[in-house]
Amino acid sequence: MAQLTCKNLTLGYDNRAIQEDLNFSIDAGDYLCIVGENGSGKSTLMKTLLHLQPPISGSIEPGDGLKKNEIGYLPQQTLVQRDFPASVREIVLSGCQSRCGWRPFYNKEEKMVAQKAMEKMMIQDLADHCYRELSGGQQQRVLLARALCAAQKILLLDEPVSGLDPRVTAEMYQLIKDLNKKDGITIIMISHDIAAAVKYATHILHIGEHCFFGTKKQYLQSSLGKAFTGQEGEDE
Ligand SMILES: Nc1ncnc2c1ncn2[C@@H]1O[C@H](COP(=O)(O)OP(=O)(O)OP(=O)(O)O)[C@@H](O)[C@H]1O
């Protein structure tokens, strides 16, 4: 049974459509990569899935017992965020905010969730460090730990490796793979790194002038997939 089903979803701003009639679904444990040209609407789709942005039309239906607050989000980092003057622990804990409701402090259980998330991302030694003094790779681990505090079922990741060097990029992909394979967390990731998308994803959603949704294998056999991955004509 699908955790999320999007039917005839049209995305955009002020009634100006960017993408029309998207249809796809995601099952528990899937690893979906969203690929496509710059400006095709990938980030807008992610914001729409998170209900931060209303769709122009169509629906996003949760299933398989998924609740609204069980989706964690790792946004694209901005320069201002990189300079955020808070400790690693505070930032990871802030992922628990939706659990707190109106309570103005974090309880024992939430602190435990944050501790576990830091351990999983191997940043427990950095807990009292200031976020802005960390390297780009360490900062991404902190934000991933924060997203894990918010949710344990689905993680939405918006270009999680952008700006990272190749070694740190590989480590980040390994951490995400482990969350998917070992913890069964569904991954939905926007990526410009088509080689990694093809390596790690179970499913691909390609949006743009032409759209595609299917398994990785189907994508690689499609003309759109062949063109985008640079394999066009190889087997002719
Ligand atoms: N808040 C907004 N209001 C109006 N238009 C917006 C807004 N945010 C984005 N857009 C427009 O929507 C289109 C899609 O943007 P979006 O950021 O979703 O694309 P993307 O596929 O994620 O791009 P990239 O690959 O460059 O990150 C762009 O033309 C952009 O200018």
Q: Of all atoms in ligand 1, which is nearest to the CA of residue 36?
A: 21
> Tokens in use for 74?
């790792």
CA of 43 to the centre of ligand 1 (A): 7
Q: Is the ipTM of this complex over 0.90?
A: yes
What pLDDT score does 168 carry?
93
What pLDDT score does 236 carry?
42
The whole model's pTM is what? Answer: 0.91
Instruction: In whole angstroms, give the CA distance from residue 118 to residue 157.
Output: 18
| Domains of the chain from N-terminus onward | 1-66+153-236 (3.40.50.300), 78-152 (no CATH)
Instruction: In whole angstroms, give the CA distance from residue 201 to residue 223.
Output: 18
Q: Of all atoms in ligand 1, which is nearest to the CA of residue 45?
A: 18
pLDDT tens by residue, 141-173: 999 999 999 888 999 999 999 889 999 999 999
What pLDDT score does 137 carry?
92
Instruction: In whole angstroms, give the CA distance from residue 203 to residue 205.
Output: 7
Q: Ligand 1: does its nearest atom lie under 6 Å from the Cβ of 146?
A: no
